[in-house]
Amino acid sequence: MEYVKGKPITDYADQNHLNIRERLELFEQVCQAIQHAHYCCARVA
């Protein structure tokens, strides 16, 4: 997995005053994006 330059997700969550539910929803979106990327790359290889 490559390094992605940017702000840590926890900083984003703190600055946007996300509550626990919102943080979990954000984390779920990130996990789904990673799963999608891995699936697409696996099909190409």
Tokens encoding 43: 């099909």
pLDDT on residue 45:
56
Q: What pLDDT, on the 0 to 100 scale, is given for residue 39?
A: 77
pLDDT in tens, 1-45: 677 899 999 999 999 999 999 999 999 999 999 898 887 766 655
Per-residue confidence (pLDDT) for residue 9, from 0 to 100: 94
pLDDT computed for residue 2 by the predictor: 74
Give the pLDDT score at 28. Answer: 97
Which pLDDT value is given to residue 3? 79
Position 43 scores a pLDDT of 63
What Å distances lie between residue 24 and 12, 15, 16, 41, 45, CA to CA? 13, 16, 14, 26, 31
